[in-house]
Chain A
Amino acid sequence: MIRRAFIGLGRPKLPYSPVADKGAGSVLQVPQPARAIFFVDQPYKDRAGLAIKEGDEVKRGEPIAPFADSKSYALSSVSGVISSIEPYTGARGQKMTAVTVEAKGDAWGPGPGSTPTLEAGLKYLENCAGGLSLARVADGKINSLLVMGVEKDLLSTAVGQVVSEKASSIKKGVDALKKMTGAQKAFIVVPPGLAKIAEGCGCEVKVLNAPYPAGIDRLVLASLFSVTVPAGKSPEDVGFLVVPAESAAAVGEAFSTGRVPDEKVVTLIGKDASAKPLNFRVRIGTPVADVLKLGNVTVNNSDRVILGGPMRGKAVYSLKMPIEPDTDAILVQAADDLPEIADNSCINCGECVRACPARIQVNMLARFLENAHYEEAAARYDLLSCVECGLCSFVCTAKIPIFQYITLGKHELARLGAEA
């Protein structure tokens, strides 16, 4: 854990991890799981509304769309038989549906073909490795692609691994995505260590040489492009489609091989802080336990297992939880490493205000959120400007779980909006 220095002036300094060593053996292959779980971003209502049932067969790369009245799907990464379809609530309260597949055989399902069209993308590539989202392309006018070659969080080196290995696939993917979206321009943002390699990606290279949280998409747009995404809007609204580097590579490979890649790279950070984090190539949907086993990380009661990084990840309650398309890291924390959270009230020290990259008055925001005044929090204290970096909680003297309040606030606001 990065502690505050003795000299306490200025913002916390949290460098991203340097790009991992490349070469043979630097990425370990996790075997195909016996059982994989996929989340579909649609609430499970009742059995009557299902278009699939237990016992149905699926193949690798095949979209599993559980509902008769919705196109939402998840891509299967194994060939096998569906064993369960259940409601699932995400870490941030999202109502979703979990589909479990028992693996059998190794057959590939239908793919997107070789002609890149938005239709094919929407049908086969939504939420592919890296967590691509094309849903808003159709109604927005995309004029630029922003390929994210920087890590989403601290400690992870997965994105760097992908960029250094797959520049040519990224190039193919970028070309395909340009055709699919009509974008004229493509940019790739990378840390200084990848600037050279990134030149092979077919994009204009933008080097980001700044510590966390500079790599968050909205902050990248503000700092490198002078483009501000209005609060409550998304990058698509200002003409940018944000493409994770791994997704760009997956799109490239999908149209050149006809198969949608079903693996992704994940960094495993064990409890021993001095041990070097390892990168694994793993099928999406693989239980966390499989990766931990291969990485020789033992988990005890009261430890914490986090999908994603220390600042923005989400803790899982079971080792059966799967690697998701956008999971770049697994972080295991020992029970005695867990920082405490308190129900102190804000002492107005202002640390959060100084740390916030979105220039939010977090001290005031926290007060409104604590008292569940969500609409006021958004209207007066910029709840929707938050880029979800977690720094405010990280530095809070009173140890208030501000970031959690923020997530809750956004969730409640969206719910109120949907009901209205």
Chain B
Amino acid sequence: MNGEKKLVVSHAPFWHDGRSIAARNYNTMLAALPAALMGLWIFGGHALGVLSLCIGTAMAWELLLNKIMKRPVSIGNGSAALTGMLLGMVLPASAPVWMVIVATFVAVVLGMVIYGGLGGNPFSPVILALAVLGVSWPLYFNYNYMLQTYDTGFAMAYPLAQLKAFGPGAVTQFSVADFLMGKQSGGIGATFGLGLIAGGLYLIVRGFIRWEISFSFLAGVLVTAWLFNASDSSAYAGPAIHLLSGYTLIGAFFLATDDSSSPVNFIPMLIYGAGAGILTVLIRNIGMYVDGVVLAILLMNVANPLIDAIRPKALGKVVNNA
């Protein structure tokens, strides 16, 4: 048109506050880094191999699926890398290569891509992969078996397994300080309590995860463990070991908070978190599994759509009670 400027036209709003999926994922990876690094320090080269392979294959699966399905390449947003990283952190350092590849396949392909990618997944991809592998190859999640050759300089009996097999008397050797400093057996990035808490708080303060879920999860674990312990302290351990060992902390701050499979409303978030926390301890104390975090979160993932239907009434909503 005669010298008229070509303007860009779009719909309001014309501002955006700068959030992005990529920033969210990379910040979550950053938050998980201290715990992951501690795992590498403790478990050494093999742990590095597992973690790298996890991240690498998770991204490779997504890229492959992007190509096969002729979709835009989406690995740049970091969600596959994050999934791989978190998955690596909950595997034993001695996980064999085939197991890593199967795990990332389950997480990325069966856990995310077939539901239409990030955001469509009804389960936390990492939790789904853990559940599938744990049921299929339970021996590979038996930390006492998997880590038996490791000489770390501290007690390498898996606390939750000791608890399950021999009762609370068998776990008095563990101290809270050791748990917090990562001096315990467990998944590569799941043992450094302090690192996980610091990472979780960072994510909460930055608004990348919903604090309601993490806190109610931990509260659920705490209260349930305490009740069991109060009812029979010779049969059930106190809350400390439940809070600080196994997958509790990584579950509370990194797994239960998976965006797509958790609620967004206030009350539902509390129900979801507390439910997962309570189930975790129930499974550990009276169920058949050593650790209950995976199954507990998976069950709450299933219940999520129902729970999240509890929502405030929208402005001006007309309720027909006919």
- Please give the residue numbers on chain A whose beta carbons come within 8 Å of chain B beta carbons, in ascending order: 1-4, 6-9, 12, 91, 218-219, 222, 228-233, 299-306, 308, 310-320, 331, 333, 335, 338-341, 344-351, 353-354, 357-361, 363, 382, 384-385, 387, 390-391, 393-399, 401, 403-404, 407
Contact = CB atoms under 8 A, between A and B. Distances in A.
Contact of B120 (A306, A341, A345, A395): A345
B153 interface: no
B116 A345 contact: yes
A312 B205 contact: no
B315 A317 contact: no
Contacts of B14: 304, 306, 310-311, 313, 315, 331, 333, 338-339
A417 B201 CA distance: 49
The range of chain B's interface size is 35 or more
B316 A339 contact: no
B315 A358 contact: yes
Nearest to B13: A390
Given A230-B318, A331-B14, 18 more contacts: A1-B18, A4-B18, A219-B315, A228-B316, A231-B315, A231-B318, A300-B5, A313-B14, A314-B11, A315-B9, A345-B120, A347-B24, A348-B259, A348-B260, A360-B314, A393-B16, A395-B19, A398-B21
Interface stretch (B43-51, B141-149, B206-214): B206-214
Given A7-B205, A313-B14, A315-B10, A387 B20 contact: no
A310 B211 CA distance: 31
Contacts of A7: 205-207
B70 interface: no
Given A9-B207, A338-B8, A363-B264, A350 B16 contact: no
Contact of A359 (B20, B118, B261, B313): B313
B315 A347 contact: no
B17 interface: yes
A391 B316 CA distance: 18
Consensus secondary structure, chain A interface = loop
Nearest to A8: B207
A300 B8 CA distance: 10
Interface of B: 1, 4-21, 24, 116-120, 204-208, 210-211, 259-262, 264-265, 311-318
Given A7-B205, A319-B5, A401-B11, A387 B315 contact: yes
A319 B6 CA distance: 10
Contacts, number: 195
Nearest to A92: B11
Contact of B17 (A3, A228, A361, A385): A3
8 contacts: A7-B205, A9-B207, A304-B14, A349-B24, A358-B315, A360-B315, A396-B16, A397-B20
Nearest to B8: A304
A317 B9 contact: yes
Contacts of B205: 7-9
A1 B8 contact: no
A345 B318 CA distance: 29
Contacts of A6: 206
A9 B20 CA distance: 16
Contacts of B264: 348-350, 353-354, 361, 363
B13 A394 contact: yes
Nearest to A314: B12
Q: Which of B10, B12, B207 has the most CB of A within 10 A?
A: B12
Contacts of A308: 12
Contacts of B262: 348
A302 B6 contact: yes
B8 A315 contact: yes
Given A315-B7, A316-B9, A339 B16 contact: yes
A299 B7 contact: yes
B265 A4 contact: no
A2 B206 contact: no
Contact of B314 (A9, A318, A350, A382): A382
A344 B21 contact: yes
Nearest to B205: A7
Contacts of A399: 16, 20
B80 to A, nearest CB: 13
Nearest to A363: B264
Contacts of A300: 5
Contact of A316 (B7, B207, B265): B7
Nearest to B120: A345
B315 A228 contact: yes
Contact of A304 (B9, B17, B265): B9
Nearest to B204: A9
B122 to A, nearest CB: 10
B290 to A, nearest CB: 31
Contacts of B5: 299-301, 303, 319
A404 B300 CA distance: 33
Contacts of B317: 231, 382, 385
Contacts of A333: 14
B42 to A, nearest CB: 32
B240 to A, nearest CB: 29
A311 B4 contact: no
A359 B8 CA distance: 32
Contacts of B12: 306, 308, 310-315, 390, 393, 403-404
Contact of B10 (A228, A304, A319): A304
B312 A359 contact: yes
A348 B259 CA distance: 5
Nearest to A382: B314
B215 to A, nearest CB: 13
A233 B208 CA distance: 37
Contact of A339 (B15, B117, B118, B261): B15
Given A304-B14, A311-B15, A390-B13, A319 B4 contact: yes
